[in-house]
Structure 1
Amino acid sequence: MKSSEQPTLFGLLRHGQTRWNSLKKIQGQMDSPLTARGRSQIDQWGTTLGQWHWDRIVASDLGRVVETVEILNKKLHLPITYDTRLREQSWGRWEGLTLPHIHENFSQDLALRVAKGWGFSAPGGESRDAVRQRVQGILTEISSNFPGEKILIICHQGVIKALIYHLMNRAFLPEEDPLLQVNGFHLVALESGVFSINKLNIPRSFRS
């Protein structure tokens, strides 16, 4: 068993491209299957991620993530746990709509909501700060249960951004420069209850 005095290392990866991603549809906690491109992306990640020698996978239970994990684990062969707390931010009544439709039909409402930064939520949806709280909660719990391990977290871009933007003291406002690449891989450590960023935007082509 690994020591509780060692930091727990989390690798954060978004699911592969989905059909709705390609159509610019908001998925939130709804779902659509991976595209051929998405499956190929994840197959490549399986080779890259093997360099870190992970202990286990903890993942969102939404279908696009389950499909992603199944592809990855053909190469990684790790124990898997699915958890609802790693689901994407709920976009409420805007789930299933395209981004162009939202901009065209709800532009004023969208601008007011986006201006709230961490308080942003879609109608009937969940705030970014609520996402941050639940992801920090589950990672803290995982670290307590598996101290010092290397844990691969497969989830969603909104979940990853909520954690990392908080650690980088971002206001989550539109005038801020982009920080994360959509298909990047990120390493975050948790030691003595304190999160820290190890490395951001590791590419699929990375070789140690």
Structure 2
Amino acid sequence: MKTVSIAIIRHSVTEWNEQNRIQGHMDSPLTKYGRELAASWRDTLDPATFDAVLTSDLGRAVETASIITEGFQLPALKMPGLREQDWGEWSGLTTDELQEKFPGKLDKEIAKGWMFRPNSGESRIETSERGIRALEEGAAKLSEIVNKDHIKVLAVVHEGVLKTIIYKLAGHDFSADKPKLVKRRRVHWLKWNGTLSIDRLNDIL
């Protein structure tokens, strides 16, 4: 069985990130700062050491990966299962607009932990299940494409799906009294050799 090491990161800064607007399955392009930030990650990640790329099929993840791996012809798979959590009716709203349109609803959902679900959207548990399935399917496909016993893959996804994947693998939950496992703008290492597991978390980008 081949081993796949997966460096998983969140996409860089988008226009809607700067507006504090919920993206979910909707999309917005990287800002000028976001493109510069993604380019700066090349020094840490060293794209020459990767064998392949996995991304969500949303533009902000694909663009981030393209900037990091520019100049390298790496096999790449776009996986819809790696999309951000679906925020349903809340997609496209700023957090202020969300509070105005659905007073108190966000806090009530946050208190549900794994069962947090935006109106007409996905729960965190549903997001984690399809995210893990997509990573495992992507790793299996790349193990057939890349002729190496130990394959190194860059995965560019979204904050919500990244957190739910890692929390599920770690047996962690989203309770307010539990420490946060995932720090911002870090690279996290997962391993696949038939099943997915955590190698290490929160390396500095």
Superposition TM-score, scaled by structure 1 size:
0.87
Q: Aligned equivalents of 2:48 and 2:85: distance in 1?
A: 28
Point out the more displaced range, 77-86 or 140-149: 140-149
- Work out whether 1:74 is the aligned partner of 2:70: yes
* Alignment partner of 1:136 out of 129, 132, 136: 132
Indicate how the Cα distance of structure 1 residues 66 and 174 shifts in structure 2: closer, same or farther if over 3 A, else same.
Answer: same
Could you say which residue in structure 2 is the equivalent of 1:196?
Answer: 197
Q: Secondary structure of 1:151's partner?
A: strand
Point out the more displaced range, 160-169 or 144-153: 144-153
What's the CA shift for 1:124? 0.7
Could you say which residue in structure 2 is the equivalent of 1:14?
Answer: 10
Could you say which residue in structure 2 is the equivalent of 1:149?
Answer: 151
* Alignment partner of 1:180 out of 169, 179, 182: 182
- Work out whether 1:106 is the aligned partner of 2:107: no
* Alignment partner of 2:83 out of 77, 84, 87: 87
Q: Secondary structure of 1:146's partner?
A: helix
Q: Unaligned 5+ residue runs, structure 2?
A: 144-149
Q: Aligned equivalents of 1:24 and 1:91: distance in 2?
A: 14
Superposition TM-score, scaled by structure 2 size:
0.89
Indicate how the Cα distance of structure 1 residues 64 and 51 shifts in structure 2: closer, same or farther if over 3 A, else same.
Answer: closer
What's the CA shift for 1:51? 6.5
Q: Secondary structure of 2:8's partner?
A: strand
Q: Unaligned 5+ residue runs, structure 1?
A: none
Q: Aligned equivalents of 2:100 and 2:176: distance in 1?
A: 18
Count of residue correspondences: 199
What's the CA shift for 1:170? 1.6
Could you say which residue in structure 1 is the equivalent of 2:35?
Answer: 39
Percent identity for Structure 1 against Structure 2: 36
Could you say which residue in structure 2 is the equivalent of 1:159?
Answer: 161
CA deviations 1:149-199 (Å, max 9, x no partner) are: 211111101111011111222221233332212211110112342x33222
* Alignment partner of 1:29 out of 18, 25, 32: 25
Indicate how the Cα distance of structure 1 residues 146 and 74 shifts in structure 2: closer, same or farther if over 3 A, else same.
Answer: closer
Indicate how the Cα distance of structure 1 residues 143 and 49 shifts in structure 2: closer, same or farther if over 3 A, else same.
Answer: same
